[in-house]
Chains A and B, each alone.
Chain A
Amino acid sequence: MALMQSFKMALKSIAGNKMRSFLTMLGMIIGIVAIVVLVSIAQGANASVISSIEGMGTNMITVSVRSRRANPIKLSTLDELSDDPYIEAYAPYLSVTGTVKAGNTVYDDASIIGTSSSYMLIRALEMEDGRFLSTPDIDNRSHVAVIGSEAAEEMYGSTDCVGSSFSIDGTAYTVVGVLKSKGTSSVGSQDTMVLIPFTLAQRITQTTGVTSFYVTATSSENVDFAQTGVEDFLKKYFSSTSYYSVFNQTQMLSTLSETTSTLTLMLGGIAAISLLVGGIGIMNIMLVSVSERTREIGIRKAIGASRGNILSQFLIEALVLSIMGGALGILLSYLIVTIVSPLIGVTMVMSAEVSLAAVAFAVIIGAVFGLYPAAKASKLRPIEALRYDG
């Protein structure tokens, strides 16, 4: 019998058992979509972390102090860093929680940060309007603020708001500058920032020390020298290196990509489990229909089908079903990755290898469990297959 005939029979059988065909494909589709989409999410996260860190420049060093009690680093102590020839700039950093209110508008998304004038250079910020925080602002604890473009839009409906006032937990501030939009990155949006003098932030949080600060090297080649300088500076004030941590961007990058590769592994694991569950679903539906199919095989053998006829029909049937399921799974994954991901604001990167592996796995499962019962049944004497009832 020609292959074409087996193919026609397989298609007829698929069309004649719509429910069974649908359930078989469903298992496959769910498994494939799960693995492809979850891995895409993980890889998307990885890619966006890497690009945002790289975007921040590679000559930045981040220092954070862990011992909050009796922090020996004061704003004035930081000035020692200016003697280091490899250090271009430094800026303290203090995050504040508080309610930002402009008129009657409460702006919940604000990230309030206390810092100094060098922060602009270090983070490569640009002004849309007005000026950045100045050294006198810091020294005098002036009630002034520089805000991100999104913050301005949300608070005043436009970025044309220099001179306007707002309050943080009831204390009044005047906007002296608005930043240009930089877009969102995984380390936080710069557009929602509300920057205030570092000294004021200290007063609000009732701290005296500097818990974290940024340093930039004069060039990316000098990062290591600058880092040594920073570490020497810290050693003078702390008895143990366990009280602080120093990161340069390259280190941060590898730490973060370690984190995201853990994430990839974890999501991949979950996805592999769902693919396995999908595979078991395919297997179940194939095995459940075995008694019905065994009778069918008995009838076909009784009227003259050979084992080869039976096996080629069932193999083609299983392959057509699993390839169809695989294709639908990939299509659905593609739609989710390209249409749904922008809507929910999650970056996803679809991987060709993972998609291919998922489909291959589904097809193999489908073929094995489609063929295994058929191979068993086709070995029976026709009369045994005809009498089979589970």
Chain B
Amino acid sequence: MIEIRDIEKKYEMGGETVHALDKVTLSIQDGEFVAIIGPSGSGKSTLMNIIGCLDVADSGTYILNGKPIEKYSERQLARIRNKNIGFIFQGFNLLSKLSALENVELPMIYQGVPAHERHKRAKEALEHVGLAGRIKHKPTELSGGQQQRCAIARALAAHPSLILADEPTGNLDKKTGKEILNLFLELHEQGNTIVLITHDPKVADWAERIVYIEDGKITSEGRGTRRYGTDELTIDEKHTYDAETQAEEVMPDGADAIL
């Protein structure tokens, strides 16, 4: 349960103050699938970093699971980042000296997952995102899309209950992007909370709830139609739905968007 009230974040840039977040109030229930959508520079990543306990707001309150964030100790926050949150960064943030497999294993090392299980889960996660043949590669030996999928695998393999994804499909082609979104749907069905950041309305449309942000302010809210609108689908129907999108892909109208 995430409760944010009147959060502000300012940056001083050469005498000018940028209000990256301007009195943002937002609640996210456990198990929700929320998309935060807004143009570039609207404060999405800033908000995400605060939700993910990587950064702190200048003012306002952030209550995580019923407790104000400032009441958590440094060690407790490390545990939360490690066990509860799966962060998918816009810039991937993979360790360049480690292989894809080692990168995916890293959060589990800090969790204390035994080597054998860690290895198995990391491999499975990489297979899941279609990187089975690249597990020994270093990030520099992977394409942008592959790095993004590696970062996704790293977040998912640790089994977090809250997934924070910052433009997770930004570097992916249509088909992989759709696979990743399906993965999120699946995790959502299993009861995980998902916060998806995007600037693309077609991607946001996959979420249950859509929050619009502009110039650091939340302007409106809506509901996703792609999946939760009139023709609501369930996981069981996924393959039919896949067939549908594939059919749609060959049509020229959605060519500029990811999906």
What is the CB-to-nearest-CB distance from A151 to chain B, in angstroms, rounded to a whole number?
66
Who on chain B is nearest to A299 by CB? B93
Complex Cα–Cα for A163 and B79 (A) = 97
Proximity bits, A363-388, B CB within 8 Å = 1, else 0? 00000000000000000011110100
Interface pair A306/B107, CB less than 8 Å apart: no
Interface pair B111/A306, CB less than 8 Å apart: no
Interface pair A381/B110, CB less than 8 Å apart: no
Interface pair A303/B87, CB less than 8 Å apart: yes
What is the CB-to-nearest-CB distance from B253 to chain A, in angstroms, rounded to a whole number?
39
- The answer to whether A167 has its CB under 8 Å from any CB of chain B is no
For chain A, give the interface size range: 20 to 34
Proximity bits, B197-225, A CB within 8 Å = 1, else 0? 00000000000000000000000000000
Report 18 cross-chain contacts, Cβ distance below 8 Å, ordered by A residue.
A12-B98, A13-B97, A298-B93, A302-B89, A303-B81, A303-B82, A304-B78, A304-B79, A304-B82, A304-B111, A306-B78, A307-B75, A307-B78, A308-B75, A381-B55, A382-B55, A383-B49, A386-B93
Complex Cα–Cα for A302 and B54 (A) = 6
- The answer to whether B112 has its CB under 8 Å from any CB of chain A is yes
Q: Contact residues of B with A, CB < 8 Å?
A: 49, 52-56, 74-75, 78-79, 81-83, 87, 89, 93-95, 97-98, 102, 106-107, 109-112, 154, 158
Who on chain A is nearest to B50 by CB? A383
Who on chain A is nearest to B76 by CB? A306
Of A17, A296, A382, chain B has the most CB atoms within 10 Å of the CB of A382
What is the CB-to-nearest-CB distance from A378 to chain B, in angstroms, rounded to a whole number?
10
Describe A's contact surface by its main secondary structure: helix
Complex Cα–Cα for A303 and B106 (A) = 8
Interface pair B97/A16, CB less than 8 Å apart: yes
* Chain A residues within 8 Å of B52, by CB: 302
Q: Contact residues of A with B, CB < 8 Å?
A: 1-2, 5, 9, 12-13, 16-17, 296, 298-309, 381-384, 386
Interface pair B74/A306, CB less than 8 Å apart: yes
Known pairs A299-B94, A304-B83, A305-B110; list 9 more (Cβ under 8 Å): A1-B109, A2-B112, A12-B98, A12-B102, A302-B89, A302-B93, A303-B81, A381-B54, A383-B49
What is the CB-to-nearest-CB distance from B153 to chain A, in angstroms, rounded to a whole number?
12
A-B contact count (CB 8 A): 73
Complex Cα–Cα for A253 and B220 (A) = 96
Who on chain B is nearest to A305 by CB? B110
Q: Which of B55, B81, B98 contacts A304 (CB 8 A)?
A: B81
What is the CB-to-nearest-CB distance from B20 to chain A, in angstroms, rounded to a whole number?
12
Interface pair B54/A304, CB less than 8 Å apart: no
What is the CB-to-nearest-CB distance from B34 to chain A, in angstroms, rounded to a whole number?
21
Interface pair B95/A309, CB less than 8 Å apart: no
Interface pair B110/A309, CB less than 8 Å apart: yes
Complex Cα–Cα for A298 and B93 (A) = 9
Who on chain A is nearest to B86 by CB? A303
What is the CB-to-nearest-CB distance from B157 to chain A, in angstroms, rounded to a whole number?
11
What is the CB-to-nearest-CB distance from B45 to chain A, in angstroms, rounded to a whole number?
10
